[in-house]
Amino acid sequence: MGNSIGKSLVLTSFGDSHGPYIGAVLDGFPSGIEIDLELIKLDLNRRRPGQSAISTLRNEEDNFQIISGIFEGKSTGTPITILIENKDHKSSDYESLKNLYRPGHADFVYDKKYGFRDHRGGGRSSARVTAAWVAAGAIAKTLLQKWYQCEVHSVVSSVYNLEVDNVFQLDWHEAENNLVRCPNPEIAQKMIDCIHQAQIDGDSLGGKIATKVTNCPIGFGEPLFDKLNADLAKSIFSINAVKGLEFGSGFESSKMLGSEYNDDAVSIENKEGGITGGLSNGKQLEFTTAFKPVSSIAKTQKINTKEGQIIDHSIEGRHDPCVLPRAVPIVEAMTALCLADHALLNLKFGKL
């Protein structure tokens, strides 16, 4: 279980990283909305492995097909099913890992929980399955755009110790012009260099992704348990390697006085990050997601074996030294799916 997310707009994910297909069913999407397949392709390309010199060498084209729910270019209101073929899955890369519990991976807990695991690249724990989330997210973005001119954008705001100041104040269009998806071109270059160095060192890097949502309508979210921030948190923490999340000034806000923090009613200040009392307040949504460094590293490290020994081991395989650039469309997708779900939930109040 745990393969579905959403209440009015439900994403059901299926497929294993090394099976023939991964995919998803998106149920609850309204009828009559034009679906631009190019937008889906675009986001899949932003996520796909092998897209640039700083990502994994695994090269997956991520060709997708939609086999239900769209007719003559428009949604029909019936479940939208997305299929993505797994082309370049080299199970042999993983053969040596059969009896190892890779640090940072779910190998050990999987074995303990299920009594077995698919050692070929993580199985259902693999970030591979997020390709279908990204495709579904692109469809959710279309809904938000059409109904509200609402747009979801994410950028890389830090890699390792390289951080962009005041990232929410920058022009984010710049981010798509560099390999690392950072809106500050100078820091972007430093990040790229840093990632190259990690690659050379057989090491890996984490970082942060900043997300903003423009034209988010007022009143998304429910006051108690389906707060917009709570549902976004569930969506964002569903992404592999996420270890922290903050809205608006987040952790910094814990160090402020109430008189400092309370957003002045007339200013454009947005310390709340666009959500008050669990509901979107009409300002831009702003939140920041922290990713741990990639778990698989070539550098030799201590590894537990299934038999309980500790060995020195270097994990081979074609891993990203830093997933942040490829995680940008995943964060956008999970955000868009969550917002579109709340858009549909809000229809009961006669809102559009």
Starting at the edge strand found earlier in the chain, the sheet holding 100-101 runs: 100-101, 301-305, 310-313
Count Cβ neighbours within 10 Å for each residue of 189-211 and write b for 16 or more, e otherwise: eebbebbeebbeeebbbbbbbbb
Place of tokens 């705001």: 157
Q: Tokens in use for 248?
A: 């608006």
Stretch that binds a second copy, among 33-41, 43-51, 134-142, 278-286 (CB under 8 A): 278-286
Q: Which residues contact 186 (CB under 8 A, 6 or more apart)?
A: none
CB 205 within 8 A of CB 55: no
Q: Which residue lies nearer to a second copy by CB, 45 or 96?
A: 96
Of 88-96, 140-148, 180-188, 238-246, the window that binds a second copy (rule: CB under 8 A) is: 238-246
Rounded to 10°, the helix 228-237/324-346 angle is 140
Instruction: Determine if 231 is a binding residue for a second copy (CB under 8 A).
Output: yes
Range 4-43, binding a second copy (CB under 8 A):
4-5, 8, 10, 12-16, 19-23, 25, 27-28, 30-32
Per rule CB under 8 A, is residue 168 in the interface with a second copy?
no
Q: What angle do CA 248, 253, 259 make, to 5 degrees?
A: 110
Which of 179/230 has CB closer to a second copy? 230
31: tokens are: 């009828």
284 binds a second copy (CB under 8 A): no
Is 50 or 103 the residue whose CB approaches a second copy more closely?
103
Binding mask 321-340 for a second copy (x = CB under 8 A): --------------------
Closer residue to a second copy in complex, CB, 171/225: 225
Secondary element (H or E) of residue 228: helix 228-237
Nearest residue to 231 via CA among 148, 345, 146 = 345
Angstrom distance (rounded) from CA 48 to CA 58: 9
Q: Determine if 268 is a binding residue for a second copy (CB under 8 A).
A: no
The C-alpha atoms of residue 345 and residue 351 are separated, in whole angstroms, by 9
- Cβ at position 4, least distance to a second copy in Å: 6
Please say whether the beta carbons of 181 and 52 come within 8 A: no
The pattern of x and - marking residues 93 through 122 that bind a second copy according to CB under 8 A reads --------x-xxxx-xxx-xxx-x-x----
291 binds a second copy (CB under 8 A): yes
Per-residue x/- marks for a second copy, 122-151, CB under 8 A?
Answer: -xxx---x----------------------
Q: Is 320 in the site for a second copy (CB under 8 A)?
A: no
* Beta carbon of residue 48, minimum distance to a second copy (angstroms, whole number): 20
- Min dist. Cβ of residue 142 to a second copy (A): 18
The site that binds a second copy (CB under 8 A) totals a number of residues, namely 136
Which 40-99 positions form the footprint of a second copy (CB under 8 A)?
67-69, 71, 76-81, 83
Q: Tokens in use for 78?
A: 């019936």
* By the rule CB under 8 A, 160 interacts with a second copy: yes
Rg of the chain (C-alpha set): 21
